[in-house]
Amino acid sequence: MNELEDLHTILGQEQHARVQLERILHLTNKRLSNTAWSMTSVQEALEEQQTEKLRVIEKAKKEIFMANLKLSSLIRNLPTGVMLEDEEHKVLHTNERFCQIFDFLVPPGLLEGLLANDIFDLVKENCAEPGHFDDEIIRLYLAGSEALLPTIALTNGSVLECSYAPILADNEVAGHLWQFKDITEATKAQQDLIRAKEQAEESVRVKENFLANISHEMRTPMNGILGMADLLGKTDLAEEQKNFLHLIKSSGQNLMMIINDILDAAKLNSGKLHLERISFNIVETVTAAYKSLVYKAEEKKLPYLLGPIEVASPYVEGDPYRLNQVLLNLLNNALKFTLEGEVRLSILVLAETDTNLTVEIQVKDSGIGIAPENLDIIFEGFTQVHAGSDRKFGGTGLGLSISKSLVQQMGGKIWVESKLNEGSTFRFVLTFNKAEKPTEKPTEEIDYAGLGELKVLLAEDNEVNLFLTQTLMENWGFQVDTAVNGLEAVAKASTQAYDVILMDIQMPELNGVDATRKIRNLSEPARARVPIIALTANAFPEDYQHYLANGLNDYLSKPYKEPALFQKISSNLDPAQPKAGKKTSAPKVTPEEKLYDLTHLHSMCRGNEAFFNKMLQVFIDTVPASVVSLETAMLRQDWPNVAEMAHKLKTSFDTMRVSRLKPLIRKLESDAKKQENLAAIPEQVEHISNLTRTLLDQLRLEIKT
């Protein structure tokens, strides 16, 4: 039983163990199948990753291929020759253009792997200056930085621009890029442009020269005609002759205006017209322009009106002469193109501030008018829209274009409103800076005897001008020597002393500028220093600069008027130089020459002898003291006092009508007042004092006892 029980127990245990085993087995199986499943999914995931990686690599490969394709087709088609080398200067890549530029008849691929230097040896053979090419390459290799070579000329005439740049990878030089650009066409175009510019400049220069010459050729005889007409006017003429002379003068002046117009147009075109900047009264300028043409309106019996012209503060800063020129042109046109009706000039103030004044100036006429299609073109040079073959109205067609340029240069604008057969209104607007009223200089009457007998050399090849200027100066009491060319002028200036030389510029043999240079080189300092004034018909400012730079002291442009010539000479005299002429040495009075004229005093005294004697006595007693005071003031250089004493003496001398002292004392007074020509004052005072002594001696004899 026990055994059975034992067996039974054993069997039970066995059964239990089997169940347990089965459960364990089942669990193990379960775990194993789980692991197998997860291994499969890991493998699957791995496979998927692999595929993705391959896809990315494929894509990247494709992209690299495309980028390479793009890059190589870009390099292949570049208009520049390219050579890429590695850090050891081994060629990595070149393009077709590179081979073309240097005449290499091989495909670019064949150059790859060679040393850049070996290729440059081949390149050098095509260079116009191989040595220079070598130097530059070496310089670039040594510098190792980005650079642009000076242009390289090839033997086939091409010009190349070469640049060199390191290629950096992670801040390390990984190679170099060479680029060669063919700039033959661009260089040629640039050279053509430079040549064209030079040609244009040359043609402007030729044109200016031509104008300067033509102006000289025309102004010189005009100077002669107008000057001779002036001289003729000073002689006794019958009424009819005076009329003829008047016609000669006015035709001459008209011709002169045309010559000046042509010159102005040329100067405006080349931007060489310079405007003045002075203070002036705009109302006065406008009124004066109006008045100067009243006679024309009267000739045509045309109502000619001025106004409204209300400008409260008329003083402005600008160029009154050029404003006058514009006004005269518009007024002349209005009068010319109006047969009936009226012409009116007016000014409107458009705006005014403390500092600025904007005005509109109008010239309105009721004349023949201008067709709408011509309103703009009349402002172009040489255009006349009423110019029939009969040349009824005359003119050059330059006036309006000059006026427009002048107004524009003054910062304004000009335009016209017009209707055919009804009339025209020309308007221009200008803005000025307001100005103070200029201090008025008293207009001095010129004393042509005031400079004494100056010794002058006049060098001039034009006979009429020579005669004219010589006559004028001899009338002033000058001693005039003449020379008809530059050589003669130099010869005379080297053998004789002159107070001043007047030098025409364009002369045969030797021109005025070269003659001046030779005079400045004379060995005797006083002769080399003589003041030389250019007499010139050239009207360009750079001509003047050229004269002054070459030793001329000043210039006077032809045609000149008597006062201008006198003032030019007077202002250029060298005060430190003793005068070469006679009169300014000691004043000589011949015994029979009476320095005074007592007619005026007699008429004042009306036969009252005592009064007459008293007057003389007072003069004789007081004048010496005044002369002493004058001398003292001069020694002290007290110029206001010199002026005052001269003024006092002037009245006394005038009473006795002392003609020899009249100009002298006036010049002294004015020089001392303005503190001008101070170096000449001692001589003037000495002169006055000597003459006064003789005068007093003579007057003492006049006292009736």
Residues 6+ apart with CB under 8 A from 642: 630, 633, 634, 668, 672, 681, 685
Q: How far is the CB of 368 from ligand ADP (least distance, A)?
A: 5
Q: Tell me which of 396, 494, 567, 641 binds ligand ADP, using CB under 6 A.
A: 396
The only residue of 320, 367, 512, 559 in contact with ligand ADP, by rule CB under 6 A: 367
Q: Which is nearer to ligand ADP, 419 or 600 (CB)?
A: 419
Identify whether the C-beta of residue 211 lies closer than 8 Å to the C-beta of residue 268: no
Site for ligand ADP in 422-441 (CB under 6 A): 424
Q: Which one of 10-18, 116-124, 379-387, 616-624 is the stretch in contact with ligand ADP (CB under 6 A)? A: 379-387
Looking at residues 290 to 329 of the shown chain, list those that interact with ligand ADP (rule: CB under 6 A). Answer: 329
Beta strands in 489-648 (DSSP E): 500-504, 532-536, 554-557
Using the minimum distance from each CB to ligand ADP, give the nearer residue, 273 or 334: 334
Kindly tell me which of 292 and 690 has the beta carbon lying closer to ligand ADP: 292
* Candidate ranges 302-310, 331-339, 636-644, 676-684; the one touching ligand ADP (CB under 6 A): 331-339
Whole-number minimum distance, CB 363 to ligand ADP, in Å? 7
Is 405 one of the binding residues for ligand ADP (CB under 6 A)?
Answer: no
Q: Using CB under 6 A, pick the residue from 400, 501, 616, 680 that binds ligand ADP.
A: 400
Contacts of 486 by beta carbon, 8 Å cutoff, 6+ apart: 459, 507, 508, 509, 510, 511, 512, 514, 515
Strands (E), 355-467: 356-365, 413-419, 423-434, 455-459
Nearer to ligand ADP, 375 or 605 (CB): 375
Q: Which of 327, 370, 451, 502 binds ligand ADP (CB under 6 A)?
A: 370
> Which one of 68-76, 315-323, 365-373, 555-563 is the stretch in contact with ligand ADP (CB under 6 A)?
365-373
Give least dist CB 263 to ligand ADP, A: 15
Q: What does each C-alpha distance from 525 to 400, 405, 494, 521, 577 come to in angstroms?
A: 52, 48, 11, 9, 11
Q: Is 341 in the site for ligand ADP (CB under 6 A)?
A: no
Query: Nearer to ligand ADP by C-beta: 388 or 442?
Result: 388
Confirm or reject binding of residue 366 to ligand ADP (CB under 6 A).
no
CB of 355 to ligand ADP, least distance (A): 33
3-state secondary structure string across 285-299? HHHHHHHHCHHHHHH
In sequence order, the 6+-apart residues with CB closer than 8 A to the CB of 179 are 80, 81, 82, 162, 163, 164, 165
Q: Which of 224, 399, 452, 587 binds ligand ADP (CB under 6 A)?
A: 399
365 binds ligand ADP (CB under 6 A): yes
Q: Which of 601, 583, 615, 605 is nearest to 683 (CA)?
A: 583
384 forms part of the interface with ligand ADP (CB under 6 A): yes
Strand 554-557 relative to strand 532-536: parallel, antiparallel, unpaired?
Answer: parallel
Show the 3-state SS of 193-248.
Answer: HHHHHHHHHHHHHHHHHHHHHHHHHHHHHHHHHHHHHHHHHCCCCCHHHHHHHHHH
Number of residues that bind ligand ADP (CB under 6 A): 22
Tell which phi-psi region holds residue 158, choosing left (phi > 0), alpha (psi between -120 and 50) or beta: beta
Q: Of 128-136, 210-218, 384-392, 496-504, which segment contacts ligand ADP by CB under 6 A?
A: 384-392
Binding window for ligand ADP (CB under 6 A); candidates: 110-118, 292-300, 349-357, 363-371: 363-371
| Contact with ligand ADP (CB under 6 A) among 75, 137, 273, 334 | 334
Taking Cα atoms as reference points, which of 361, 353, 362, 288 lies closest to residue 320?
288
DSSP category for residue 590: -
Name which of 108 and 395 has its Cβ closer to ligand ADP: 395
Q: What is the DSSP string of 606-654?
A: TT-HHHHHHHHHHHHHHHHHHHHHHHHHHHTT-HHHHHHHHHHHHHHHH
Amino acid (1-letter code) at residue 136: E
In the complex, minimum distance from the CB of residue 395 to ligand ADP, in angstroms, rounded to a whole number: 2
- Output the smallest distance, CB 258 to ligand ADP, in A: 9
- 397 lies in the binding site for ligand ADP (CB under 6 A): yes
- Report how far residue 378's alpha carbon sits from residue 397's, in angstroms, rounded to the nearest whole number: 8
Residue 283 or 363: the one with the smaller Cβ distance to ligand ADP is 363
Pick from 76, 124, 181, 386: which binds ligand ADP (CB under 6 A)?
A: 386
Closest residue to ligand ADP, Cβ-based? Answer: 395
Name the phi and psi angles at 358, rounded to 5: -110, 125
Nearer to ligand ADP, 31 or 419 (CB): 419
Considering Cα of 617, then 621, then 624, then 627, what sign does the dihedral take?
negative
Identify which range of 164-172, 289-297, 390-398, 512-520 contacts ligand ADP by CB under 6 A.
Answer: 390-398
**Token duo for residue 312:** 């409260």
368 interacts with ligand ADP by CB under 6 A: yes
Nearest approach, Cβ of 283 to ligand ADP (angstroms)?
23
Residue 128 CB partners (closer than 8 Å, separation 6+): 152, 153, 154, 155
Identify the residue among 175, 227, 252, 395 touching ligand ADP (CB under 6 A).
395
Check if the beta carbon of residue 447 is closer than 8 Å to that of residue 663.
yes
* Least distance CB 427 / ligand ADP (angstroms): 12
Q: Is 378 in the site for ligand ADP (CB under 6 A)?
A: yes
Among 133, 178, 337, 476, binds ligand ADP (CB under 6 A): 337
Question: Which residues, other chains included, contact 576 with Cβ-Cβ below 8 Å and sequence gap of 6+?
Answer: 679
Q: For ligand ADP, which is the closer residue by CB, 331 or 468? A: 331
Which residue, 227 or 367, is less far from ligand ADP as judged by CB? 367
**Residue with smaller CB distance to ligand ADP, 171 or 389:** 389
Pattern 578-607, ligand ADP, x by CB under 6 A: ------------------------------
**Of 410 and 459, which CB lies nearer to ligand ADP in the complex structure?**
410
| Interface segment toward ligand ADP; rule CB under 6 A; list 380-388, 446-454, 589-597, 639-647 | 380-388
CA 549 → CA 488, 513, 525, 538, distances in Å?
Answer: 22, 10, 19, 16
CB of 157 to ligand ADP, least distance (A): 52
Place of tokens 């043999």: 509
> What is the smallest separation between the CB atom of 243 and ligand ADP, expressed in angstroms?
27
Q: How far is the CB of 442 from ligand ADP (least distance, A)?
A: 37
Instruction: Return the structure tokens found at 545.
Output: 């600069």
User: How near is the Cβ of 382 to ligand ADP at its closest, in Å?
Assistant: 8
Distance, CA of 519 to CA of 522 (rounded, Å): 5
Yes or no: say if 596 and 619 are a contact pair by the CB < 8 Å rule.
no
Distance between CA atoms of residues 18 and 16, nearest Å: 5
Q: Which of 333, 462, 553, 684 binds ligand ADP (CB under 6 A)?
A: 333
Best CA proximity match to 281, nearest among 436, 402, 428, 395: 436
Q: DSSP string of 253-310?
A: HHHHHHHHHHHHHHHHHTT-PPPP-EEEEHHHHHHHHHHHTHHHHHHHT--EEEEEE-
In b/e form, how buried is each residue of 25-45, taking b as 16+ CB within 10 angstroms? eeeeeeeeeeeeeeeeeeeee
Nearer to ligand ADP, 365 or 453 (CB): 365
Q: How near is the Cβ of 401 to ligand ADP at its closest, in Å? A: 6
Cβ-based burial of 589 (10 A; exposed 0-12, middle 13-18, buried ≥19): middle
Asked whether position 289 contacts ligand ADP by CB under 6 A, the answer is no
Q: Residue 524 gets which letter from DSSP?
A: S
Q: Report the interface residues with ligand ADP, using CB under 6 A.
A: 329, 333-334, 337, 365, 367-370, 378, 383-386, 395-401, 424
